[in-house]
Structure 1
Amino acid sequence: MTITVHLVDYEQRLLRPMAFPGGPTGPAEALEVDTTLAGRAYQQVRIFPAEGPGAPRLWVPLVDGAERLGVLEVEVDDVADLHDPGLRTQCRWLSMLLGHLVTLLSQYGDGVDRTRRPEKRTVDAELIWSLLPPLTAGVDSFVVSGVLEPRHSVSGDAFDYALSETTATLVVLDADGRDVRSGLVAAAALSAHRSARHAGLGLVEQARAMDETLRRQFDGDVSATAVLAELDLVTGRLSYLNAGHPRPLLLRGGQGGLPLAGGGCRPLGRGLDEVTVGEEVLQPDDWLVLYTDGVTGASDAGGAPFGEPRLVDFLRREAAAGNPPPETARRLVKAVLAHQGGALRDDATVLLARWAHPDRILP
């Protein structure tokens, strides 16, 4: 039996084989996520057998908790082994173990990162990526997944979340500009948010901490829009605050998106006066969508924007197809890029979350 680890690149377009000491030294072919059986295993987080050509093999999704990292290619000696339930169980355990090890290794060296990032990042993108949590995480009743583009030159967009057994806290922000300074603004705002959140402060206090930090550190010369949200995972009660940002969307029952327009304040860094917090009670399997204007503002060659109606329609179709938040987020960014001819003129970030009743377990 031979096992090869294929890690997905940060664009989630290619699965790249990871080199190990003593392993093959020649160039190995990357596999496309959208056109191969390996990619199908990655997208659907399912084991798929391949009987030919070549040696029989299993394609096993490589995961760390809820986060998809790539696939394992498990070559076996006999076709009958492909349908052995005991072997598949062992492969799932190996996947979880290796997935956890890959995540740990990425914190102590550059080998994993070099495999997943063949293209050089800009300085501001390095700053933003150093701030981000894992792209996907979940607890029994809640899954959240985020993506941002352009992966190698993002500068002012960022997101964060924190999960416990009873609460999910989410934030998406968009700092002014497209340079290192906008990355510094995003870093300061996100750090202020985390400081307030760690201290147990609520949404209003979190927003005030972010606003005061930007005004103090940048002499009132910068601003950032943001959405801050807190979800009670037991009751489904959502509290949210919109600081001059595109309205969050609520997708319910596979139908259209409901814009959440209840809570708001001025953009952060401009001084907060009146601050209101909106509330909504989620129903099981509701989707919450937070995004930056680079998503809806992406325009085609004729100048037509991607727009909120197109965004809602895309999400509705993905939910109807049964795709979970991580795969939907991947497909959404791909659709936005295609709409704008493959090259974005502004950062585009989306954070998708799905809530279920605590008595139900999400896939």
Structure 2
Amino acid sequence: MTDRLVDIRRTLAEAPADLVLERLGTELANTYGTAETELLQVDYRLAALVPLHGGDPVVGAGSPAWQCFDHQSEVLQDEVLYLPVTVRGERIGVLRLSPAPEEPDRREELAQAATALAHELVAVRAGTDKYAVGARTRRLTLAAEMQWELLPGRSRIRPSFSLAGQLEPAYAVRGDSFDWADDSRRLWLCTVNGMGDGVSASMLTCLGTNALRNARRAGLELADQAALADQAIYAYHQGIQHLSALLLELDLRTGVVEAVDAGSPQLLVLREGEVVEQPLDDQFPLGMFDGTLYQSQHFQLARGDRLFVVSDGVLDATSRTTRYGEIALHRAVRRTRSMAPLEAVRSLLGDVRAFVGNDLVDDAVVVCLDWHGS
């Protein structure tokens, strides 16, 4: 690591939470001669790159900023340099710098600075609202605020897998959510849909998600995780409200998936260009009855398989006369074959929004998982 990068990392680490970008800009101006340092954050809907310091959001898919975001690579145009701001696969946005240095090694150093910025933004996120507010093109509802704070992130990459998820309608989502965690051997993934509307649905989803996390972190088996969350929800709601959930545990070495289907969304596998529906034994939603016992089942992924979890808000989305349905869903899934998971979920939900003609009325969650092999 060069002395310049050491100085940049020190500057980022020592900057006040709300002045990380400003202090980085001063350091880059002194070291590389840049006159502008701007962060373009991707918005909650994955539809705009929003400048932190104000100005019009970038919405054109062919713009250099979106090319950088989509391809996760440097883009140089008209002496302006665009660099991905990404940490462990979580795409925060794009760093825009001008004028760009001519030397490729200096641009590579700036790319590393953009990655260091991503790490620091994740670290300071809990201490300031500046970056959360700066990524919005409109106000979130209270229920949506609760849901987005609950998420583990929106994308994740490790050598053995790539993963992404998205909620819709992004600024007004209520009960649909997802959660994940991984270690060197396993990936845990769940999608949930809390019964009800508004804050009531969000509170139910929050209870269910944290009950599942508590059980997972206690080292319980997947079926027991479902049972513990079922007990927690029933104890509070007495069966009046319940939570649909799909729990998955992927062995990252073998590709074997353990699943518990508790009134789950649809599970699709994209294998060699063909869409296959993965059948699961449907069991009661969490919290519907007292003391439900859950059973897990197993299925095998092949290297290169893509797994989609799609909630009923996608299948049941309607235009004026027709329902989106399985035929359109399978067609949209097949089209994502060459896309990274984050582009895949954005493409699928964009197709649904185009079909509806606006934001979705019902909640929807889409999660995309690629297993690359051990």
TM-score, normalised by the number of residues in structure 1: 0.89
The aligned residue for residue 348 of structure 1 is 364
Task: Please tell me whether residue 270 in structure 1 is matched to residue 297 in structure 2.
Answer: no
Amino acid at match of 1:283: A
Per the TM alignment, residue 85 of structure 1 is displaced from its structure 2 partner at its CA by 2.7
The aligned residue for residue 41 of structure 2 is 7
Query: Are the counterparts in 1 of residues 88 and 158 from structure 2 also a CA contact under 8 Å?
Result: no
- Comparing both structures, which one devotes a greater share of its residues to helix? 2
Using a 3 Å threshold, how does the CA distance of structure 1 residues 77 and 282 change in structure 2: closer, same or farther? closer
The aligned residue for residue 201 of structure 2 is 182
Using a 3 Å threshold, how does the CA distance of structure 1 residues 16 and 220 change in structure 2: closer, same or farther? same
Query: Are the counterparts in 2 of residues 231 and 239 from structure 1 also a CA contact under 8 Å?
Result: yes
Per the TM alignment, residue 275 of structure 1 is displaced from its structure 2 partner at its CA by 3.2
Amino acid at match of 2:282: G
Stretches of structure 1 lacking an aligned partner (at least 5 in a row): 20-26, 359-363
1:91 and 1:284 map into 2 onto residues whose CA distance is 35
1:148 and 1:253 map into 2 onto residues whose CA distance is 27
The aligned residue for residue 312 of structure 1 is 330
The aligned residue for residue 152 of structure 1 is 171
Task: Please tell me whether residue 298 in structure 1 is matched to residue 317 in structure 2.
Answer: yes
Q: 1:324-343 residue pairs with structure 2 within 5 A?
A: 324-343=340-359
List per-residue Cα deviations over 1:288-312 (Å, max 9, x = no partner).
111211111111122x222222222
The aligned residue for residue 76 of structure 2 is 49
Per the TM alignment, residue 207 of structure 1 is displaced from its structure 2 partner at its CA by 0.9
Query: Are the counterparts in 1 of residues 50 and 137 from structure 2 also a CA contact under 8 Å?
Result: no
Query: Are the counterparts in 1 of residues 176 and 364 from structure 2 also a CA contact under 8 Å?
Result: yes
Query: Are the counterparts in 2 of residues 105 and 112 from structure 1 also a CA contact under 8 Å?
Result: no
Query: Are the counterparts in 1 of residues 244 and 286 from structure 2 also a CA contact under 8 Å?
Result: yes
1:135 and 1:58 map into 2 onto residues whose CA distance is 25
The aligned residue for residue 182 of structure 2 is 163
2:346 and 2:63 map into 1 onto residues whose CA distance is 16
The aligned residue for residue 31 of structure 1 is 58
List per-residue Cα deviations over 1:1-28 (Å, max 9, x = no partner).
2322111111121111113xxxxxxx52
List per-residue Cα deviations over 1:42-87 (Å, max 9, x = no partner).
1111211213xxxx11211111220111111121267xx1xx4313
Per the TM alignment, residue 324 of structure 1 is displaced from its structure 2 partner at its CA by 0.6
Per the TM alignment, residue 33 of structure 1 is displaced from its structure 2 partner at its CA by 4.9
Query: Are the counterparts in 1 of residues 230 and 292 from structure 2 also a CA contact under 8 Å?
Result: no
Superposition CA RMSD, Å: 1.6
Q: 1:122-161 residue pairs with structure 2 within 5 A?
A: 122-161=141-180
Per the TM alignment, residue 35 of structure 1 is displaced from its structure 2 partner at its CA by 3.5
Per the TM alignment, residue 239 of structure 1 is displaced from its structure 2 partner at its CA by 0.9
The aligned residue for residue 18 of structure 2 is none
Per the TM alignment, residue 127 of structure 1 is displaced from its structure 2 partner at its CA by 1.6
2:261 and 2:60 map into 1 onto residues whose CA distance is 35
1:74 and 1:137 map into 2 onto residues whose CA distance is 26
Per the TM alignment, residue 210 of structure 1 is displaced from its structure 2 partner at its CA by 1.5
Amino acid at match of 2:362: D
Q: Number of aligned residue pairs: give it.
A: 339
Query: Are the counterparts in 2 of residues 265 and 273 from structure 1 also a CA contact under 8 Å?
Result: no
SS at match of 1:32: coil
The aligned residue for residue 61 of structure 1 is 84
Per the TM alignment, residue 274 of structure 1 is displaced from its structure 2 partner at its CA by 5.6
Query: Are the counterparts in 1 of residues 308 and 367 from structure 2 also a CA contact under 8 Å?
Result: yes
Stretches of structure 2 lacking an aligned partner (at least 5 in a row): 1-33
List per-residue Cα deviations over 1:65-114 (Å, max 9, x = no partner).
20111111121267xx1xx4313311220111011122223211111011
Per the TM alignment, residue 199 of structure 1 is displaced from its structure 2 partner at its CA by 0.6
